[in-house]
Amino acid sequence: MNRSKKRIIERARRAERVRKKIMGTSERPRMCVRRSLKHIYAQIIDDNSGKTIVQVGSRGKEFSQKTSGKELTKTDISKMVGEMLAEMAKEKGVTSVVFDRKGYLYHGRIKALAEAARSNGLVF
């Protein structure tokens, strides 16, 4: 098995382990993070009803309007996504969430997104 397949399998196992313990409810939905090499996405999900309450990504229209003409690092982009997610969640009436890092290690862009969301009012 080559190295890249092994990394993908290991991350999937970590995600499964994390997901076993985390469940989003209507009072405290799950905040799920997805990361690719260039972009980052986050959404708040109510697992009881199976509905996505809020979603934000670094490829969305709202995000591209905010960042037009700026040179940003991937960490800066993650911070902005976290801030936008927290603002949109407040508008929908969500103040408390459960954080699902989805097998990614809690550092770098994932940590930046989480801390930005916390600083804008989301409670983990």
| Residue 93 forms part of a structural domain | yes
Which residues form the domain of 36? 3-119
Instruction: State the pLDDT at residue 62.
Output: 81
Instruction: State the pLDDT at residue 113.
Output: 97
pLDDT by residue (tens digit) across 45-86?
999 999 999 999 999 888 888 887 788 999 999 999 999 999
Q: Is the pLDDT of residue 1 over 80?
A: no
Query: Strand 30-35 to strand 98-100: parallel, antiparallel, or no bridges (unpaired)?
Result: parallel
First to last CA, the chain: 38
Q: Whole-number mean pLDDT of the chain?
A: 92
| Residue 71 forms part of a structural domain | yes
| Residue 78 forms part of a structural domain | yes
Listed residue (119, 121, 117) closest to 33, CA to CA: 117
Domain count, the chain: 1
| Residue 73 forms part of a structural domain | yes
| Residue 124 forms part of a structural domain | no
Q: Could you give the CA distance from residue 120 to residue 18 in angstroms, rounded to a whole number?
A: 25
pLDDT by residue (tens digit) across 25-47?
889 999 999 999 999 999 999 99
Q: Which residue has the higher pLDDT, 68 or 87?
A: 87
